[in-house]
Amino acid sequence: MQRVQFPSLNATLRTVLLSISLASGQAIAQTLPLAPDLIAFNSSTGAELLLESEAKQDYWNLSIQFVTQINQAYCGVASMVMVLNSMGITAPEVPQYAPYHVFTQENFFDNPALRRVLAPEVVARQGMTLDQLGQLLNSHPVNVQVYHGGDVTLAEFRRLIAENLDQQGNFVIVNYLRSTIGQERGGHISPIAAYSAQSDRFLILDVARYKYPPVWVTAEDLWQATATVDTSVGKTRGFVLVNPRTGSN
């Protein structure tokens, strides 16, 4: 059967998405300039990459749940809040939103099981490692796979993340060294939302939205950024794949 095309609808969709993307950039005008090898999502090229991407299932839910980290060490907490809300995991009730339930950065550590893994005071002071990120996620009804960047090849890195992004209901959080991709300061954590095979780039929804916009980074550069050593533990950074457990909500 011949596939029916709707050029007018497609053109409208492209216009709407481009407008939303560009408008979001105007709201964060204080962000730092980007290195030449990075493509800002809130640019016409950045928006076109999303439209052309086939591996972007995660983008739609993550974009609805997109948050800014509440302090400069909570990038991991903000990323987990986005993912857990996107997956529809049962969340605590929030007093100011009662009777509604949602994960927030303020209530994330209300679960005693998470405090046994890592105290919020420690996170606020020094952030978290890749393995701690995986352990905190494992305290929820989800399946977590932790990959250190030094243990996977570029081809494996690209395949594992792109396959995840092409499926609904599971998500990717990456831990990388900013300076390796041409950004300021040290280690950082954020969700990945899409993959463009044509340009071989991943879209990082950077939770430090006061500092950088979401960016498209080449797969090789991001892989190299995850293969850097986190000196606090002597292991390389990396990424986690988060999948729902069968029978869990």
Residue 2 domain-assigned? no
The domain tally of the chain equals 1
For residue 89, pLDDT beyond 90: yes
Identify the domain containing residue 169 by its residue range: 7-244
Q: pLDDT band for 245, please (50, 70, 90 cuts).
A: confident
3-state SS, residue 219: helix
For residue 247, pLDDT beyond 80: no
Which pLDDT score is estimated for 11? 45
CATH number reported for the structural domain that contains residue 169 in this entry: 3.90.70.30
Are the beta carbons of 105 and 78 closer than 8 angstroms? yes
Give the span between the Cα atoms of 88 and 141, in whole angstroms.
Answer: 11
Give the span between the Cα atoms of 134 and 143, in whole angstroms.
Answer: 10
Residue 219 domain-assigned? yes
Residue 88 domain-assigned? yes
For residue 16, pLDDT beyond 60: no
Tell me the angle at which helices 219-226 and 154-165 cross, rounded to the nearest 10 degrees: 110
1-5, 15-19, 47-51: the lowest-pLDDT one: 1-5
Residue 18 domain-assigned? yes
Mean pLDDT score, 99-113: 95
Give the model confidence (pLDDT) of 115-141 as tens digits. Answer: 999 999 999 999 999 999 999 999 999
Cβ neighbours, 10 Å, residue 233: 12
Residue located via tokens 């352990």: 135
Are the beta carbons of 176 and 225 closer than 8 angstroms? yes
Give the model confidence (pLDDT) of 141-153 as tens digits. Answer: 999 999 999 999 9
Query: Side chain identity at 146, as an amino acid letter?
Result: V
Query: What mean pLDDT, rounded, does the chain reach?
Result: 90
Encoded tokens for 176: 């990388």
Give the span between the Cα atoms of 241 and 174, in whole angstroms.
Answer: 9
For residue 206, pLDDT beyond 90: yes
Encoded tokens for 221: 């550069």
Give the span between the Cα atoms of 65 and 74, in whole angstroms.
Answer: 16
18-32, 77-91, 97-111, 199-213: the lowest-pLDDT one: 18-32
Q: pLDDT band for 29, please (50, 70, 90 cuts).
A: low
Q: pLDDT band for 246, please (50, 70, 90 cuts).
A: confident
Which pLDDT score is estimated for 10? 55
Residue 73 domain-assigned? yes
Residue 249 domain-assigned? no
Residue 190 domain-assigned? yes
Which pLDDT score is estimated for 30? 81
For residue 6, pLDDT beyond 50: no
